[in-house]
Amino acid sequence: MKTSRTDELINFAAIISNMMKLLLLLLLIPSVVFSQVVNTGMTDRYDSLETGKVKIGGLIDTYYGFDFNQPETSDRAYCVSSPRHNEININLAYIEVQYINERVRGRLVPGFGTYINANYANEKGSLKNLIEANVGVRLSKKRDIWVDAGIFGSPYTNETAISKDHLMYTRSLASEYTPYYLAGVKVSSPIGKKLKAYAYLINGWQVINDVNNKLSMGTQLEYRPNDKLLINWDTYIGDEYSVQTPDYKTRYFTDVYLIYNSGKRFSLTSCAYIGLQDKKDTLGVRSQPYWWQGNVIGSWQFNKTISVSGRLEYFNDMNAVLVTPITTVKGFDCASAGLGMNVKIGNNALFRLEGRAFYSDRKMFIGPSDQETNSSSLLITNLTVWF
């Protein structure tokens, strides 16, 4: 029996309610140390800046990937990070300029590479080369409340586009199908020593140019119970109507992720999310398809130089809300497993080698003989240098 739109909304509200209860429970966990763990799901980190001075940095992320399905166009399916097959290329290269004093701050990050080509294809003109460009003002001399406006990194999921910050070189399917960037206004404020809140008023789901003249909203709670663990909860509500998706209406999305760093050998991160998409077709028939995913990534440090990391994940979008299959099947579902080796070279370079396998019960991929298949394998190597 089909569920009604009201039932779907009730189910979604119940999920959010349970997440809120989980967060409130975590707030009761005793702690005596203010957290130092880094939220790798975000890119703008002003804490390390020297007040009153401009900081200039940069990064070059090079890679070579071999997709054993050997796509004819050399574009690997279902990804925007390191997306090219059988060629040496630049995933992402950028220059980063940052400044902060007691009352104002700013961040400019122009970027280039195959990630930009794949992920910013719908942006216009020079905007497609802006990873971040934002300015902020502090509203109070006594309280650390900031308002930032412009283009900034998205808080959604535990991975950003900056590979050096993450346990695995490749990005999870989770992050490939949520916004890497947002455009709008962000307000941030601490709530006590362990909790920080953010509110977002933005142009939409990973867009710089607004496609429907309706603003979207997002929230974020970042909780650090101690110096080793971080728990983050995000929400998104916005109208996703566009020329490309004329039947899309309001989108509801929420995620929860945790980041654990023992400070010694073991690190772990995990993310789960669910989204609902209101739809209304030309006959006025309404529906609310949903998508969801879960992943876990771990890393073991052998010494100061060498570590290994692994990932398990599952992604389900059976109504093709976000993922368009490249085969004749309808909807998308896929499991993935990966294993990587990471070698740190000094303080400013990282060499990585990673193998990754994708599998589905259905034929989601196209093999080397141009036949539909239910699996895909990737071997990829990377050298990233930053300053």
Task: State the CATH number of the domain containing residue 254.
Answer: 2.40.160.10
Give the residue numbers spanning the domain of 91: 5-29+53-386
Cα angle, residue 212 at apex, residues 207 and 215 outer, rounded to 5°: 70
* pLDDT tens for the 387 residues of the chain, in order: 444 545 545 555 555 555 444 444 433 433 333 337 889 888 877 777 788 889 999 999 999 999 999 999 999 999 999 999 999 999 999 999 999 999 999 999 999 999 999 999 999 889 999 999 999 999 988 899 999 999 999 999 999 999 999 999 999 999 999 999 999 999 999 998 999 999 999 999 999 999 898 999 999 999 999 999 999 999 999 999 999 999 999 999 999 999 999 888 999 999 999 999 999 988 889 999 999 999 999 999 999 999 999 999 999 999 999 999 999 999 999 999 999 999 999 999 999 999 999 999 999 999 998 999 999 999 999 999 999
In a domain, 285, yes or no: yes
In a domain, 41, yes or no: no
Sort 17 into a burial class: Cβ within 10 Å, 0-12 / 13-18 / 19+.
exposed
The pTM of the full predicted model, rounded to 2 decimals, is 0.88
Cβ atoms of 261 and 228 closer than 8 Å: yes
In a domain, 235, yes or no: yes
Number of CB atoms found within 10 A of residue 87's CB: 11
In a domain, 34, yes or no: no
In a domain, 47, yes or no: no
In a domain, 42, yes or no: no
Q: Count up the domains in the chain and report the number.
A: 1
In a domain, 267, yes or no: yes
Q: Which residues contact 258 (CB under 8 A, 6 or more apart)?
A: 158, 229, 230, 231, 232, 268, 269, 270
In a domain, 40, yes or no: no
For residues 115 and 122, what is the distance between their CA atoms, to the nearest angstrom? 13
Q: How many angstroms separate the Cα of 131 from the Cα of each of 93, 113, 160?
A: 10, 11, 11
Q: Which residues contact 88 (CB under 8 A, 6 or more apart)?
A: 62, 63, 64
